[in-house]
Structure 1
Amino acid sequence: MLGARRPHSSAALLSTVLLLHIQAAVAVSFQVLVPAGPLSAPLGGTVLLSCHLSPALSAQAMQVKWSRPQLGQDVHVYLPDGTEVQGERYRGRTELLRDRIQSGSLALRIWNLTLRDEGRYLCDFQSDTYFSDATLELHLTSSGSDPLLDVSLYKDQGVSVTCLSAGWYPEPNVLWRNSHQKILTPESEQKLQSDDGIFNVSSTVVITESSDPALTCTLSPGSPGPEKVSAIVISDTFFPRVSSWRVPLFVILVILMICVCFLILAALCLWRIHKEKGAIYTELSTFLLHLQPFMGVGPC
C-alpha cells in the first residue's frame, strides 16, 4: 500500500518545485516606469524625478541608479548594501527618497537647478538576475520680468514704443496688439542670450497720429508657463494738433499783414505823388521868373 502511493507523492513534489521555479521567475521579472512626457521645473528651483517598479517589488537588495548616459555622468546611485553615491557634479544637490523602497519606488530630488541639469535622465533597477530601465526628459524654464514700456519720438514719423523684459528661458515669444486685438508687426526686435543662457528681450513698434493709441505687449515662454503683459495708451500730447481757435487767428493775422503792406504801399505812392507835385511847382515858378523881363510884369 505504501509503495503504491510513491508515484503520487513524487508528482506532487515535482509540481511544487515547478511552481516555486515559476513564482521565482515571475518575481525577478519587472518593468521600470517613469512619468509620460517631459517634466518642467524652474531654473534655480527643485524637481522630483519619480521612478518605480511594476509590479511593486522591494528594491532594497537591488542597485538603483539615476544617470545621464549621454553625458557619461552618474547622478545618484543606491547600492544593495544600503549605501549611496552622489555624482561629482551633483554633490550636495540630490537626495534619494527611500521611504517607498519596499514597494519599488526610489524618486530623485534635485535642487538649485541650472541649465546644465536640463536633458534626459535614465533610471535603472538591477537585481541579481534581472535588469530594466527607463528614461525621462527634464525641461527648465525661467519666467522673465514684467515688460517695461518705454515711449520716445521716432524721427518725424510718430512715436516708438519699446517693450523690455529680462530673465527668460527658453526664448520667449513677443506679441503686440492694439485695442481691437489686431496683431502689430514690430519695427525691430532683439532677443539676446547671456552667457548663462538667459534671454533678454527688446521689441519696438512705431505708431502715428492716425494709429490706435492703445497698445499691449505680451511675452509668453517657449514652454508652458505664465504670460507677462503690459499695456499703455499713448497720450495726444505726443501728437500736437492745431487748435480750433488757432486757424481763424492765423487768418486774421494774415489779413492784417496784407492790410499793413497795402497801407505802406499807398503811403509810398502818395509820398511820391506829393514829391512829384512839389517838383513841378518849383519848375513852374522858375519858368515864370525868367519870363518877367519879357512880359514887363512884376512877380505876383
Structure 2
Amino acid sequence: MEVRWFRDAFEKPVHLYSFQKNILGTQDSDYRGRTALSPEALQRGDISLKLRNIRPSDRGIYTCLADDGSQYEKGQTEVIVAALGTQPSISMDSAQGEQTRLVCRSEGWDPEPEVIWRDRDGNDVTSLSNTTLLRDSQGLRSVSSYIKIKQQSNVFSCLVRSKTPKPDWESKLHISSEYHMFVD
C-alpha cells in the first residue's frame, strides 16, 4: 500500500508512506519533521495526514493518492490557515511642532487584517487614518495605523479584524481632560 500526499509536485511529496514505512528522502523540505500518518489509523484504513507547526505558506490544496497495487483512489482537501493577531495597543505620539496622533499596533495576522477607527460617538473615522502593513519571515502581518487627534475629542477606539469573519480585537483609549500638550 502506498499513500502519497502532495501539493504541486507529485515527485516532491508532502508525505509518502510505502512498503509499511515512511519514505522521507524525496519529501518536500518545507514539510520535513512536520508530517505524520498514524500507524494505528492506517490499520483501520484512515490515511489522514497530520501536519504540525502550521505556517501561512501551508495554505492550499493537498492531493492524496492511495494505491494498493490493484487500484488507486485520489482525493483532495483544502487547508485554510488563519492567524488572529495580538490585541491592538494604542499609544500617543507627538513630534515637535506637529499635531498629536494616536498609533494603533497589532501583529501576527493572516490573512491581512483591516483597521477601523471610531470616535467617541461611534462614528467611523478610518478615512482620516494612515495604515501600514508589514510581513514577517513567517508570512504573518503586522499593522500600524495612526490618526491625528484634536484636543476636544477624548475617546477613540481602534478595531483590528480579519477580513474573514470573526473574531475581532478592539482597544479603546480615553484621553482625560487634564491632558495638555506641551511643546518646547
Flag whether TM exceeds 0.5 (same fold). Answer: yes
1:141-290 aligned within 5 A? 141-153=82-94, 159-185=100-126, 186-211=128-153, 213-224=154-165, 226-238=167-179
Q: Larger deviation: 220-229 or 150-159?
A: 150-159
SS of match in other structure, 2:87? coil
Does the residue aligned with 1:215 lie in a helix, a strand or coil?
strand
Is 1:106 matched up with 2:84?
no
- The corresponding residue for 1:267 is none
Answer whether contact 1:147 1:229 (CA < 8 A) is retained. Answer: yes
Partner of 2:57, secondary structure, is helix
Tell me the distance in 1 between the aligned counterparts of 2:75 and 2:123.
46
Q: Counterpart in 1 of 2:59? A: 118
State the 1:113 CA deviation. 2.5
Q: Which has the higher helix share?
A: 1
**2:21 matches 1:83:** yes
Aligned to 1:34: none
CA positional deviation for 1:203: 0.7
Q: Does structure 1 retain, via aligned residues, the 8 Å contact 2:91–2:102?
A: yes
- The offset of 1:97, in angstroms, is 1.6
Query: What is the identity, as a one-letter code, of the residue corresponding to 1:82?
Result: Q
Q: CA deviation at 1:82?
A: 1.6
Using CA pairs below 8 Å that are at least 6 residues apart, which structure has the higher relative contact order?
A: 2
Deviating 4+ runs (over 6 angstroms): 154-157
The aligned residue for residue 69 of structure 1 is: 8
Instruction: Name the CA distance, whole Å, in 1 between partners of 2:96 and 2:11.
Output: 56
Between the aligned partners of 1:73 and 1:233, the Cα distance in structure 2 is 55
Q: Aligned-pair distance for 1:96?
A: 0.3
